[in-house]
Amino acid sequence: MIDHWLGGEHHFPVDVAAARAFEQAYGPCAPIFRELRAFLGRAVRAIVADGVDSFLVFGAGVPTMGNVHEVATEATVLYTDVDPVTIRLGQRILAGSDRAGYGYGDATDIGTVDPAQLHRFVPGWGRRPVGVVFLGLAAFLDDDTLARTLDELYGAVAPGSRLAIDFDTDELAAHPEALAMMGPAFRMRRPEVFAPLLGRWRPTADGIVPIARWRPDGPPADVPDAFYGAVAVRPAD
Ligand SMILES: C[S@@+](CC[C@H](N)C(=O)[O-])C[C@H]1O[C@@H](n2cnc3c(N)ncnc32)[C@H](O)[C@@H]1O
């Protein structure tokens, strides 16, 4: 669905049908998802500017349309997801790349990421600063699981590492039909509820803000504040 809204080519008729059904209940989604992808780009570029040259991406979805390795053009990137169809698609898209790979990874258990892939695409994992991209995932994890997962990631990465993260606000609650389509486990959060879940991760001075207002390149895009985001740091020891 996201690839459809981004104008990509890697999706199926069933995705387009689901995207259209969601838009009937909510309204146009393409501008919001394009801004989300622009936020990913701004966050990844900022992390690269801080000297990071490798990324581990959780819940990656389709690795195109301005995804991490297309923004961080010198970096190595390991994309992971739990969905077998997405993983196979991602592996097909990245076949032949010596800089980016795709494999299974449950964001809530770093132990599920293949160590060989991790060391190939995120060299020095645990010893050198890396970028961890955790976008489009928080809504699928309850508070305890999200806090534990972020804390374990903090413990696993080297000091100086960065985390790009976003979460859904309660904006969708104003569209009950669309909200129902997200299923009963879907979680919306207010920023003051989300902030403590970051635990030891320290947000940059940009704060936890609507994604369109996170270091905008110009006047912020005029989209609903459906998502907030942040880049957070594991400070140097
Ligand atoms: C809303 S999409 C976000 C895709 C992409 N990150 C983006 O922002 O465009 C959520 C993705 O997370 C994956 N996912 C859901 N639960 C996960 C988990 N526990 N670990 C890793 N990926 C997960 C889904 O398969 C899906 O591809």
Residue 71 has pLDDT above 80, yes or no: yes
Q: What is the mean pLDDT of residues 157-169?
A: 98
What is the C-alpha to C-alpha distance for residues 48 and 160, in angstroms, rounded to an integer? 12
**pLDDT tens track for 3-16:** 999 999 999 999 99
Residue 15 CB–ligand 1 contact under 6 Å: no
Residues 6+ apart with CB under 8 A from 83: none
135/42 Cα distance (integer angstroms): 13
Tokens of 234: 């594991």
Burial of 203 (0-12, 13-18, 19+ CB in 10 A): middle
pLDDT at 236: 85
Amino acid 38: pLDDT: 98
CA of 72 to the centre of ligand 1 (A): 20
Q: Is the CB of 81 under 6 A from ligand 1?
A: yes
CA distances from 77 to 20, 22, 58, 82 (A): 32, 31, 11, 17
Pocket test for ligand 1, best of 39, 77, 82, 165 (most atoms within 8 A of CB): 82
Atom of ligand 1 nearest to the CA of 106: 20
Please say if the pLDDT value at position 237 is more than 90: no
What is the average pLDDT value for the chain, to the nearest integer?
97
Using alpha carbons, list the distances in angstroms from residue 95 to 11, 62, 63, 91, 216.
18, 13, 12, 6, 33
Residue-wise pLDDT tens digits, 109-161: 999 999 999 999 999 999 999 999 999 999 999 999 999 999 999 999 999 99
Q: How far is the CA of 61 from the centre of ligand 1 (A)?
A: 6
Domains and CATH numbers, the chain: 2-233 (3.40.50.150)
